[in-house]
Amino acid sequence: MNGGGSLSFLWALSMVYATLRNPILPL
Cα separation, 15 vs 21, in Å, equals 10
The pLDDT of residue 27: 55
- What are the DSSP calls for 1-27, one per residue? --S-HHHHHHHHHHHHHHHHH-SS---
Whether the CB-CB separation of 17 and 23 falls below 8 Å is answered with: no
pTM of the model: 0.50
Phi and psi angles of residue 17, each rounded to the nearest 5 degrees, phi first: -65, -45
pLDDT digits (tens, 9 = 90+) for 1-27: 456 678 889 999 998 888 888 777 555
**Count of residues making up the chain:** 27
